[in-house]
Amino acid sequence: SPPPSPPLHSFHLLLHQELDTKHDKHERLVKLSRDITIESKRTIFLLHRVTSVPDVEEVLTEADLKLDGVRLNIRMIAEELRGEDLHQFHRAFTPGIQEYVEAVSFHHFIRHRTLISLEEINTKLVFVKEPEGQQPMGTPQVLTFQVTPTDYLLGVADLTGELMRMCISSVGNGDMDTPFQVSMFLRQIHDGFSYIGNTGPYEVSKKLHTLRQSLSKVEDACYTLKVRGSEIPKHMLADVFSSRTAMMDQDEGMA
Amino acid sequence: MSVTEMFSYIQAFLSADQEIRADVLLQDIRKVVQVLEQTAREILTLLQSVHQPSGFKEIPSKCTKAKELFCTVRTQLGELKNKFPVEQYYRFHEHWRFVLQRLAFLAAFEVYLESACLMTRDEVAQILGIEVVRKKGFHLDVEDYLAGVLIMASELSRLAVNSVTAGDFGRPLRISNELDSGFRLLNLKNDPLRKRYDGLKYDVEKIEVVYDLSIRGLTKEQEAGGNK
């Protein structure tokens, strides 16, 4: 008669633990990513108020606090990923990270009128762990999360949509400078993406179409402002833009 | 840094080490995987012949031949390991996942044919010449091992049917039952592994029906012999 099978249950139990650990970690990362997405979106929403309030700095400071909260969640992601293969879990947290890049670059543009660099983003994601009681030399542990160039690009691509919205709403508030600043900035970003073209990851190429649409809207808005702005009473400027962008949206619908 | 400078920097990064070289790495990886798949097909052809009526007697010699082919597999997996940085296993995992599951199945099947035992993950990894723990190097992911085991369960249910047809009632094929209760201890998510596991219960049913029928068949033959 054949020899008895090895104790199946015991080794299945070990597999069960390993499988559970993997799934649990994935779930925790997905939750963190979701929280980051929600709070980043709220920050972006808050930042849009700068076009209609007198004290821009107050909005920026409040947004800063929100982003500090987001960074605490990113720190927790970094803790989870310690010693792990990043590629195994990237899909779990990439949505949140892209949203964070969008929020932080929006914040940066409003304050500095420039594009935040990948390095500047990652510098803020270096976390120092305070040495715990018993450690002999008390050396602080450093934990980092590094945003990849691809996630950075995807976040910046999404930023362009918010910039377009900002441009349109600033016109509605009689701000004649912001639209042109945004237009110039947006064009630079678009040119940057064109330069990368199809040599980047597939997900980046996909966003190029939406990016071009946003740029078109902004450039057309600036054109109208320039050519006809002086003719139109200020309180009616907003109407010109809303009808103009509505026309463009209609065209797109028919295309 | 201006916008233009930023994008130039990103572009340089994308074309340097990490990203574009992935295309080159992928070419090499695909070549080795193709060779591995060829070897896996040879082993499969060899072991599948046990389903034929004449196949049962030849099992020992087939297992010996299969073992030789596994030597080749070990060499080829050794080559695969060298085609990419060891810490990027999961970046390219999708490319060899299929063939690795196949090989896990074939290794477990070969051992089952020899000794009616179910191989553990460690034993499968040893036959393939790879690790079990990710940090130690190219490893056998727990889910890939489980997928291989489930493929084997299917194969065993087929073997149950064919061995009865070939007149061999002696094959102890209750192993699927043990597999089933072992798997019940695992928490499977709603993914391809789970779907394969759901198929297991049909395999188990099939084997039990065949086994019961074959027992009754044996009894009938003995009675008939006794009455003569």
Q: A251 vs A9, which has greater pLDDT?
A: A9
Give pLDDT, residue A133.
60
How confident is the prediction along chain B (228 residues), in pLDDT tens digits per residue? 789 999 998 888 877 755 556 777 888 999 999 999 999 999 999 998 888 877 778 889 999 999 999 999 999 999 999 998 888 899 899 999 999 999 999 999 999 888 878 888 999 999 999 999 998 999 999 999 999 988 988 888 888 878 777 777 666 556 666 677 777 777 777 788 888 888 887 777 777 777 777 777 664 554 555 444
Chain A residues whose CB is inside 8 A of the B10 CB are 118, 149, 152-153, 192, 196
Chain A residues 51-80 with a CB less than 8 Å from chain B: none
Give pLDDT, residue A31.
98
Percent of chain A scoring above 70 in pLDDT: 80
Unique residue bearing structure tokens 């080159």? B24
Chain B residues 2-41 with a CB less than 8 Å from chain A: 2-4, 6-11, 13-15, 19-20
Unique residue bearing structure tokens 């390219």? B92
- Burial grade of A196 (CB within 10 A; 0-12, 13-18, 19 or more): buried
Unique residue bearing structure tokens 């690795």? B100
Tokens of B135: 């940090």
CA dihedral of B52, B55, B56, B60, whole degrees rounded to 10: -150
Q: What is the ipTM of this complex?
A: 0.73
Q: B72 vs A221, which has greater pLDDT?
A: B72
B177 touches chain A (CB under 8 A): no
Q: B80 vs A243, which has greater pLDDT?
A: B80
Angle at which helix A149-172 crosses helix B3-15, to 10 degrees, equals 160
pTM, 2 dp: 0.78
Give pLDDT, residue B193.
83
pLDDT in tens, A172-207: 777 888 999 999 999 999 999 988 877 778 888 888
**pLDDT confidence tier of residue A230, bands split at 50, 70 and 90:** low
Phi, psi of B16 (to 5 degrees): -80, -170
pLDDT in tens, A125-149: 999 876 666 555 666 788 999 999 9
* Average pLDDT estimate for A50-67: 94
Could you tell me the CA-to-CA distances from A42 to A102, A158, A215 in Å, in that order?
12, 15, 24
Among A136, A158, A166, A139, CA closest to A46: A166
pLDDT in tens, A81-104: 998 988 899 999 999 999 999 999
For chain A, the average pLDDT equals 85
Give pLDDT, residue B41.
93
Per-residue pLDDT for A211 more than 80? Answer: yes
Could you tell me the CA-to-CA distances from B44 to B62, B68, B103, B152, B192 in Å, in that order?
11, 13, 9, 12, 22
Binding residues of A: 102, 162
Among B99, B96, B124, CA closest to B111: B124
Give pLDDT, residue B24.
78
CA dist B183 and A12 (Å) reads: 7
Chain B residues 117-176 with a CB less than 8 Å from chain A: 117-118, 120-121, 134-135, 142-143, 145-146, 172, 175
B183 touches chain A (CB under 8 A): yes
A3 touches chain B (CB under 8 A): yes
Unique residue bearing structure tokens 């940090």? B135
Q: Do A18 and B142 touch (CB under 8 A)?
A: yes
